[in-house]
Structure 1
Amino acid sequence: MHSSPLPLTRDLVLIGGGHTHALVLRMWGMNPLAGVRVTVIDPVPATAYSGMLPGFVAGHYSRRELDIDLVKLARFAGARLITGPAVAIDPVDQTVTVPGREPVAYDVASIDIGITSAMPALKGFSEHGVPAKPLGPFADAWTKHLAFNPSEPVAVIGGGIAGCELSMAMAHALRVKGSDAPVHLLERGILLSDNSESAQRKIRKSMADLGITLHENVQISEINATALVLADGTTIQASFITGAAGAKAYDWLGTSGLNLHNGFVSVNPRLQSSVDNVFATGDCAHMIDTPRPKAGVFAVRQAPVLFQNLRAALGTDKWAEYKPQSDYLKLVSLGQKSALAEKFGLTFTGPLLWQWKNRIDQKFMEKFRDLPQMEQPTVPAEIAHGMKDALGDKPMCGGCGAKVGPTTLSAVLSHLPAPLRTDIRSTIGDDAATMVVGGVEQVLTTDHLRAFTNDPVVMTRIAANHALGDIWAMGAEPQGATVNLVLPRLSDTLMGRTLHEIMQTAHEVLSDAGAAIVGGHSSVGDELTIGFSITGLCHQPPITVAGAKAGAAIILTKPIGSGTIMAAEMQGQAEGHIVTKALDLMCQSQARAADILKQAQAMTDVTGFGLAGHIGNICKSSGTGAVLRIADIPLMEGAAELAQNGVRSSLYPQNKAAFPELPDTPETALLFDPQTAGGLLAVIDAQSAEGTLNALKIAGYQAAIIGEITENPDQIELA
């Protein structure tokens, strides 16, 4: 989390992760406006760069080279990223609707969502076709086709520049693959009718050289799983069908109340819509005074103007106007590493032009690849002994990575006397305190997390499920909860918005678990911390960590690796889709898993002390040992590679120090990785283990049997 001594007073919401907004985020990270909280809303954690899409399709670029990582970019800009589609904007209430969460409030908003395809209106396209936009899903679909069905014919609908580039790129990729699969390009009019005769002639020749079959002046009546059916009854066989024609604005803009032109947001030279505090840019916008075609070059050049005007609307009052050039250089990929350049009616082709285009594209993408990493606090020239060791060599992690280490904590707790009350039945090693209230056994836990994501909604879901894990691990049913918050300095308006998001999310998660919020406490500090104190009722004897028996199976209900992934994210080393998947797993409820595991001999949830620390606690309390099969332990996507590259959470050294007998290698590193909202770790009778595992998998858990309990007290072995 970015912290500042100055309070946040205004919300800037960027709707969409298009090229203009990506550049604005980079500029914001270099020169933020104090007091502004920035939010980015996009359906995916990475947005594909349109200029390199044909090169990716042809095989010249990897998917990693194609994508702008919005997670890394948001971290650099100090922004929160909401991964979900915006489906409405209300300029009166000043909110943006994203399904699955409370409306996102703004003081200033900007829309950069690009365009979508009108192809689904064609009969059968929604079921059997792949629109060329959005770019990310198209890229995924093409990768799958090229890998598994390269011998099947391909068809592209739309004979403009985009359709021609895609068809040539596909044809080249298939030839490189050794496939002679036909590639068809269909156009209802004349191919490249908006381009010069010279450009048309040269592109047609390139397409002919690649063996592409052109179908001009044709009408498509429908599409099925294996073919396109034309109006005259002709059938064109194709198993991969894409559409690069019929681009249109997103339908939800039609209900926005903003002035539109053919569905696109009308903007003035300041890029403002008909509502002063709502801006629009890129392909989703229509420039009233200077209309231009939909082209990425305009979106890129709008970025500095939008950046300045967003700042002006938020407080600086220094405005700028966007003045587009009358003509622009068009660079067209020709499938192979060759390109066509067109400007002022002049056209040229050749490999040197592809190299030129590649340099332009790579220079653009380098802006997002080389982002400064999070720095450690500046250390004064004169410091006390031990300061450098206390600071460590990396930024402090959030979540369970910010917990006190197991050795330090155990040493302190060991000096506490045993409870004197006769209605307290638990020990310090248990997940929650067990009390007898009116003859009923009740469990009590409290847990608090230092935020590691700028989105209070996601952080609340994680913190609530993290605290509930202690209740579920005891075999109890959640009952009542208090919410305990430390909020950063905010204006009264932003404080109200933040509290509303947190409390509504907490209510949703806790009520789904069967618990009710009964109170809480809040205070203001340097950064966001969210915690819950929760009670639960036991309708059977509580499941503790002390009942494991030799020969029983060990089941883990969730992959590990969250500490490593979030540490890498803070350092700019984790790819956005890996971070997003890790956050999704941390938000996963363990309620159904706990119900399936009600007959466990012993159980705990895997949190700050890592998998080794928690299985060690079971063994110590039960007087047993354990064998863990490293290969069977489920890992979060990307965690093993990051561990191999030396990424460790700030709590890792203390977790590892508790097990000096275990090897410290990249293969074993994740055993000591602190988990936040981790899975349940259950000891199950061997005879019922497989059936229990199948039930967990059917319920949607990435569970696994990872080892067995042994008779060797306090000995953890690896196999």
Structure 2
Amino acid sequence: MIVDPPPSGAPLLLVGAGHAHLHLIRQRRQLPAQRVILLDPGGFWYSGMASGMLGGQFMPQADRLDPMQLARRHGVEGIRGRLSGLDLDRREALLADGRRLAIAATSLNLGSTLHLPAAHPEGPALWPVKPIPRLLALRRHLSRAFDSHQRLHLVVVGGGASGIEVACQLRALAERHAATPEIRLLTRAPALLPGAPRGAVNWLRRRLARRRITVMTGLECCGPTRGGVMVASPNQPWGEDSYRFLAADHVVHATGLSPPDIVERLGLPTLPDRGLAITATLQSPAASWVFAAGDCAAMIDHELPRLGVYGVRQAPVLLANIAAYLQGSELHPYHPQPRALSILDLGDGQALAIRGRYWWGGRLAWWWKRQLDERFLSAYR
């Protein structure tokens, strides 16, 4: 690990405005750097309310923050742009516009993305759940289609929390427009929400049936074709009857999240499909001046699910360790919580909350989620 001291007077560079960096910006006074710079291409979209925005519960502006405005308020310089690489020998950040910045340290909080399969020229429209503005584009597209009385076939790929929320919010959006599309939820797993309590899954399946959402387990999407998608069982031997056709006008992919491509171009160790490798102190094992948190980072000793709550919990440790690094003090490890609370917004004033083996569903869970979401966003408005 590179342990040389940071250059005197060089700035701290925060790349990306994710959950953890919002906290660092608000606590800028605790960072012993003469200059702190935020590099980010656009607004912060809050993942906790993204599906609700798709379903029409929230206007887009309710789910979005301007990180540059937050940065100015707390004495952080803002640069609209993207990182294109790091010069590890000269300790410089390379910007996509050609600029080079000498830095004391940098922290990456870039979130995750989703790579779609190749589209078919006569196949369905394909939509990823990330970046979140794509869900806003889907909402606007479907709203026009519903208003023109198109009878649509919608397929959601992914039986985890994101896929379930998206399927429910598609039904909510349709109901706002008095439309009745066919909605199918497809997962390659044998059941929804792998690892969730059985009672929670059974409760959820009953809710989905009432919302007229067809659940198809044990099937994976093999790719788009004319008028729909081909699906198959992952465990079925190949043969002429291996594939089934599902009619689809739109397919939303809610599985297969991966770190942004830039992570692989930094010249630092990564963990396949997980992100930039980081130690317990949230540092790269090959460059102590590079920190990372959230979905783009992969802890070497812990495989964390891609949930915003982990970025939020990493934030105080990230803040303390960057400050300690800049001062030459001892850094402390981040210890992930063994269980995290997850609350699924089901789009009709109902939600399902799960934490470990405990769960509860209904309006109280939905109200609790609203309180948590509004509390988080209000802290940065």
Unaligned stretches of 5+ residues in structure 1: 1-7, 370-719
Give 3-state SS (helix, strand or coil) of 2:117's partner.
Answer: helix
Residue 189 of structure 1 aligns with an amino acid whose one-letter code is A
Q: Does 1:338 align with 2:335?
A: no
Query: 1:213 is matched with which residue?
Result: 214
| Structure-2 separation of matches of 1:114 and 1:90 | 22
Aligned mate of 1:242, from 224, 237, 252: 252
Q: Does 1:223 align with 2:233?
A: no
| Structure-1 separation of matches of 2:248 and 2:44 | 28
Query: 1:41 is matched with which residue?
Result: 39
Deviations 1:341-396, CA, capped at 9 Å, x for gaps: 11231221110111111101100001111xxxxxxxxxxxxxxxxxxxxxxxxxxx
| Structure-1 separation of matches of 2:15 and 2:373 | 24
Distance 1:346 1:77, change over 3 A: same
| Structure-1 separation of matches of 2:105 and 2:224 | 43
Q: Does 1:288 align with 2:300?
A: yes
Alignment of 1:496-515 (within 5 A): none
Residue 153 of structure 2 aligns with an amino acid whose one-letter code is P
Alignment of 1:384-399 (within 5 A): none
The structure where helix makes up a greater share of residues is: 1
Q: Does 1:310 align with 2:348?
A: no
Tell me the CA shift for residue 251 of structure 1.
2.8
Tell me the CA shift for residue 271 of structure 1.
0.8
Give 3-state SS (helix, strand or coil) of 2:215's partner.
Answer: strand
Residue 197 of structure 1 aligns with an amino acid whose one-letter code is R
Tell me the CA shift for residue 35 of structure 1.
4.5
Give 3-state SS (helix, strand or coil) of 1:276's partner.
Answer: strand
Alignment of 1:319-334 (within 5 A): 319-334=331-346
| Structure-1 separation of matches of 2:107 and 2:120 | 34
Give 3-state SS (helix, strand or coil) of 2:223's partner.
Answer: strand
- TM-score, normalised via structure 1 length: 0.47
Query: 2:235 is matched with which residue?
Result: none
Unaligned stretches of 5+ residues in structure 2: 1-7, 233-241
| Structure-1 separation of matches of 2:116 and 2:107 | 27
The answer as to whether partners of 2:231 and 2:245 remain within 8 angstroms in 1 is: yes
Between 1:211-220 and 1:223-232, the stretch displaced more is 223-232
Tell me the CA shift for residue 126 of structure 1.
11
The answer as to whether partners of 1:122 and 1:221 remain within 8 angstroms in 2 is: no
- TM-score, normalised via structure 2 length: 0.86
Tell me the CA shift for residue 122 of structure 1.
7.5
| Structure-2 separation of matches of 1:319 and 1:234 | 54
Tell me the CA shift for residue 34 of structure 1.
5.5
Distance 1:97 1:176, change over 3 A: same
Tell me the CA shift for residue 226 of structure 1.
4.6
Alignment of 1:601-616 (within 5 A): none
Distance 1:121 1:304, change over 3 A: farther
Q: Does 1:354 align with 2:370?
A: no
Distance 1:353 1:166, change over 3 A: same
The answer as to whether partners of 1:38 and 1:79 remain within 8 angstroms in 2 is: yes
Query: 2:140 is matched with which residue?
Result: 144
| Structure-1 separation of matches of 2:91 and 2:211 | 52
The answer as to whether partners of 1:124 and 1:223 remain within 8 angstroms in 2 is: no
The answer as to whether partners of 1:145 and 1:240 remain within 8 angstroms in 2 is: no
| Structure-2 separation of matches of 1:340 and 1:125 | 37
Deviations 1:125-184, CA, capped at 9 Å, x for gaps: 99931211112x223312322331224332211111111111111111211221101112
Give 3-state SS (helix, strand or coil) of 1:332's partner.
Answer: strand
Tell me the CA shift for residue 32 of structure 1.
5.1
Aligned mate of 2:68, from 66, 71, 78: 71
The answer as to whether partners of 1:15 and 1:111 remain within 8 angstroms in 2 is: yes
Aligned mate of 2:279, from 268, 272, 277: 268
Alignment of 1:419-458 (within 5 A): none
Aligned mate of 1:252, from 245, 255, 262: 262
Query: 1:129 is matched with which residue?
Result: 126
Tell me the CA shift for residue 254 of structure 1.
2.1
Residue 168 of structure 2 aligns with an amino acid whose one-letter code is M
The answer as to whether partners of 2:50 and 2:63 remain within 8 angstroms in 1 is: yes
Q: Does 1:54 align with 2:66?
A: no
| Structure-2 separation of matches of 1:26 and 1:259 | 30
Q: How many residues are matched?
A: 358
Give 3-state SS (helix, strand or coil) of 1:10's partner.
Answer: coil
Tell me the CA shift for residue 284 of structure 1.
1.3
Alignment of 1:479-494 (within 5 A): none
| Structure-2 separation of matches of 1:33 and 1:246 | 35
Distance 1:233 1:112, change over 3 A: same
- Compare CA radii of gyration and give the structure with the larger one: 1
Q: Does 1:153 align with 2:153?
A: yes
Residue 102 of structure 1 aligns with an amino acid whose one-letter code is R
Q: Does 1:114 align with 2:111?
A: yes
Tell me the CA shift for residue 124 of structure 1.
7.3
Note the aligned Cα RMSD (angstroms): 2.4
Tell me the CA shift for residue 295 of structure 1.
1.5
The answer as to whether partners of 2:10 and 2:102 remain within 8 angstroms in 1 is: no
Q: Does 1:170 align with 2:166?
A: no
| Structure-1 separation of matches of 2:122 and 2:41 | 22
Deviations 1:419-450, CA, capped at 9 Å, x for gaps: xxxxxxxxxxxxxxxxxxxxxxxxxxxxxxxx
Distance 1:171 1:288, change over 3 A: same
Tell me the CA shift for residue 192 of structure 1.
2.2
Give 3-state SS (helix, strand or coil) of 1:120's partner.
Answer: coil
The answer as to whether partners of 2:124 and 2:227 remain within 8 angstroms in 1 is: no
Tell me the CA shift for residue 216 of structure 1.
2.2
| Structure-2 separation of matches of 1:334 and 1:299 | 24
Deviations 1:661-708, CA, capped at 9 Å, x for gaps: xxxxxxxxxxxxxxxxxxxxxxxxxxxxxxxxxxxxxxxxxxxxxxxx
Aligned mate of 2:87, from 73, 78, 90: 90
